[in-house]
Structure 1
Amino acid sequence: MQALTGTGVALVTPFKKDFSVDTEALKKIVNYQIDGGIEYLVVLGTTAESATLTKEEKELVITTVIEANNGRLPLVLGVGGNNTAGVVAELKSRDLSKFTAVLSVSPYYNKPTQEGIYQHFKMVAEASPVPVILYNVPGRTASNMLPATVTRLANDFKNIIGIKEAAGDIVQAMKLIQHKPEGFLVISGDDMITLPMVLAGGAGVISVIGEGFPRQFSDMVRLGLERKVDEAYRLHYLLADAIDMIFEQGNPAGIKCVFAALGLSEETVRLPLVNVNEDLAARIKAFVNKIRNL
């Protein structure tokens, strides 16, 4: 899956001030990613506030991104949940012909055992007409998909082609890289440790900060993949403070503040999320202006 090596971004869903989906802003954001050198786009992930979108709004987002992208970059669609039967039904009924893969989160809230996680993804793999990227994010799911479970799934199902690993644990990531089957993609889901993961043998990232600063972050990942360590770390440290800031008061409130500073969309998020406070907004906007002037 060479198409999914490098930098993917988890697209936001921009909202107008009345909280409706802003399709024109979404088109601008898609073009901004493509112009910035991003390798692929992830639609309806956590960063898209997909938990607060209606079925009709999700279809609107998908249609808008497909039209704006116009076949230029590979697309990955978020299809996951904690109701296995529901995920399977969606995979069987949805037209995935425009998507290179699906990104499927480990079941949240239910707190399944490792065997439960395995059986869930067994059903997902058997139902999906396109390759599957697993998504491990214990901070949101309340359970950690262990490397042994990931390796078992990767060996048993050839259409499980990678994992977005967002446990924030570089040792766990290295164990995944050490024991993965050949060709299996270990993709960072944590912007701050993306470069160390890439240098350890990871395939790249599905990023949030990369959405705000696509040129710098995708260049960093490419330099890392090329083993140009010093040049890559210069870009890492250039963006490190911004990574902290965009997650300081929650995602995607921080990255939406970046987009507002860039003039691409409003800062609006839907409850239970709220906009970043004035202090953080001022710091984010100052950082955006600094990067613009470099």
Structure 2
Amino acid sequence: MAPHNDAPSPSGSYTSGFNRMPYRPVVTSGLMTGQLGTAEPHSPLSSSFSTSSETSDFHMNRPLVPGVYVPTMCFFEEGTEDVDTETIARHAVRLARAGVTGLATQGSNGEAVHLTHAERQLVTVTTRKALNESGYAHMPIIVGCGSQSTRETIQLCREAWEAGGDYALVLPPSYYAPLFAPASETVTSFFTAVADASPIPIIIYNFPGAVGGLDLSSDVIVQLSRHPNIVGVKLTCGNTGKLARVVAATRKSSPSTAGGNSSQNHPDFLVLAGSADFTLQSLVVGGHGILAGLANIAPKACVRTMQLYSEGKVAEAQAMQEVVAQGDWTAIQGGVVGVKSGLQGWMGYGGHARSPLPRPNAEQANKWKEGFRELVMLEKSL
């Protein structure tokens, strides 16, 4: 994808192709000048990667377009478990060079639940600066901002904006789900309040496995899509029927723009599959791509699967999807522990997840490596 020639947004506002809401700046954290915020005690974070950057480089018009989005890993220094900013930056640039459309920090693969607020901002600002300095300033960053309270979720959205994030990926709250109002009223009120206050647009994250089985229906997602600051959904539930219904209900016809781009190229509401193993199934019903952890291992294979389908080479796309799906099964079984182990085994970096997650022994590490073998061989051939 060619870089966008977008001018920075005017000071005090933040707009894009979506109908974003004006942002009234809060007290800045100082992250853009390499300082940690004062809202929490300083953590022993790695300072080997500078985080200084001009604000205009961080806040640009970066529209969401169909493609492969990658929930990046958070890497830690061996022994100390401090955030390893050098590896975070290097990994982000590797993914960008592979041709992915955008990155996501603070997702399930990014171990957001293991990070403090300051560390979460550090990861995002490190990623933004690495992309900017490598010629990928146009690439959007989605930031995981889900929390159990409306108040903290809004705070995370504001901090994501400060750190250079473009969109907020938000899980529904779930801890007190048995006390929620009926007919999903509590969930819709939560997303509405967050979207009203967030300086960046919201992407709904439907991942029942992470929220005690809470599964948003297509009706709820479509209802929320009407909010001007809710611009997409990630469906990790794997329900392709739901995905088809959401795509159909949120698709808006609009004339082609200059250069031949249609509404499908710049959708009003981006619908993404949450795993790479149903990429083609999603595309068949009009989905716009994937936001999938497997792309940390094989970004080119994920991108090429989509490209083959868009070129009408369905049989070739199906053959590649078979390999991708098998590799994704390894990733699904191993989670962040297995994906990091696979990265370490095949790419020479990755390390371990933060405690209390276990470190795989030699036998387990070999299992994860072999599980990704066919996929990695495909990746290296592209």
Q: TM-score, normalised by structure 2?
A: 0.71
- Please tell me whether the aligned partners of residues 253 and 267 of structure 1 are also in contact (alpha carbons under 8 angstroms): no
Correspondent of 1:200 among 281, 285, 300? 285
Decide whether aligned partners of structure 1 residues 94 and 67 sit closer, same or farther in structure 2, where only a CA change above 3 A counts: closer
Query: Which ranges of structure 2 fall in alignment gaps of 5 or more residues?
Result: 1-16, 18-62, 253-267
Q: Deviation of residue 260 (structure 1)?
A: 0.5
Decide whether aligned partners of structure 1 residues 6 and 292 sit closer, same or farther in structure 2, where only a CA change above 3 A counts: closer
Q: Distance in 2 between matches of 1:204 and 1:145?
A: 20
- Please tell me whether the aligned partners of residues 225 and 269 of structure 2 are also in contact (alpha carbons under 8 angstroms): yes
Other-structure match for 1:13: 74
Decide whether aligned partners of structure 1 residues 11 and 229 sit closer, same or farther in structure 2, where only a CA change above 3 A counts: same
Secondary structure at the counterpart of residue 199 of structure 2? coil
- Counterpart check, 1:151 vs 2:219: no
- Please tell me whether the aligned partners of residues 240 and 282 of structure 2 are also in contact (alpha carbons under 8 angstroms): yes
One-letter code of the match for 2:298? F
Other-structure match for 1:173: 243
Q: Distance in 2 between matches of 1:15 and 1:93?
A: 21
Correspondent of 1:259 among 343, 346, 349? 343
Secondary structure at the counterpart of residue 3 of structure 1? coil
Range that drifts further, 211-220 or 85-94: 85-94
- Counterpart check, 1:221 vs 2:221: no
- Counterpart check, 1:130 vs 2:205: no
- Please tell me whether the aligned partners of residues 76 and 352 of structure 2 are also in contact (alpha carbons under 8 angstroms): yes
Q: Indicate the percent of aligned positions where both proteins have the same amino acid.
A: 24
Q: Distance in 2 between matches of 1:276 and 1:222?
A: 35
One-letter code of the match for 1:167? C
Range that drifts further, 279-288 or 122-131: 279-288
Range that drifts further, 183-192 or 204-213: 183-192
Residue deviations 1:8-32, cap 9 Å, x none? 0001101122222111111121111
Decide whether aligned partners of structure 1 residues 233 and 172 sit closer, same or farther in structure 2, where only a CA change above 3 A counts: same
Decide whether aligned partners of structure 1 residues 259 and 86 sit closer, same or farther in structure 2, where only a CA change above 3 A counts: same
Q: Deviation of residue 171 (structure 1)?
A: 1.9
Residue deviations 1:262-281, cap 9 Å, x none? 33523311233223454442
Decide whether aligned partners of structure 1 residues 277 and 224 sit closer, same or farther in structure 2, where only a CA change above 3 A counts: farther
Other-structure match for 2:49: none
Other-structure match for 1:3: 64
Range that drifts further, 116-125 or 170-179: 170-179
Q: Deviation of residue 159 (structure 1)?
A: 1.8
Q: Deviation of residue 44 (structure 1)?
A: 1.1
Other-structure match for 2:12: none
Residue deviations 1:72-123, cap 9 Å, x none? 4111111111111211233346534833311111113222451111000000
Q: Distance in 2 between matches of 1:245 and 1:195?
A: 19
- Counterpart check, 1:67 vs 2:129: yes
- Counterpart check, 1:290 vs 2:377: yes
Query: Which ranges of structure 1 fall in alignment gaps of 5 or more residues?
Result: none
- Please tell me whether the aligned partners of residues 31 and 68 of structure 1 are also in contact (alpha carbons under 8 angstroms): yes
Residue deviations 1:167-223, cap 9 Å, x none? 122222222223224222111112211220122110111111111101111111233
Higher Cα radius of gyration: 2
- Please tell me whether the aligned partners of residues 124 and 164 of structure 2 are also in contact (alpha carbons under 8 angstroms): no
Other-structure match for 1:189: 274
Q: Deviation of residue 54 (structure 1)?
A: 1.7
- Please tell me whether the aligned partners of residues 154 and 161 of structure 1 are also in contact (alpha carbons under 8 angstroms): yes
Using CA pairs under 8 Å that are at least 6 residues apart, name the structure with larger relative contact order, 1 or 2: 1
- Counterpart check, 1:100 vs 2:187: no
Q: Distance in 2 between matches of 1:144 and 1:126?
A: 23
Correspondent of 1:109 among 165, 175, 191? 175
- Please tell me whether the aligned partners of residues 42 and 75 of structure 1 are also in contact (alpha carbons under 8 angstroms): yes
Q: Distance in 1 between matches of 2:276 and 2:244?
A: 16
Decide whether aligned partners of structure 1 residues 176 and 38 sit closer, same or farther in structure 2, where only a CA change above 3 A counts: same
Other-structure match for 2:95: 33
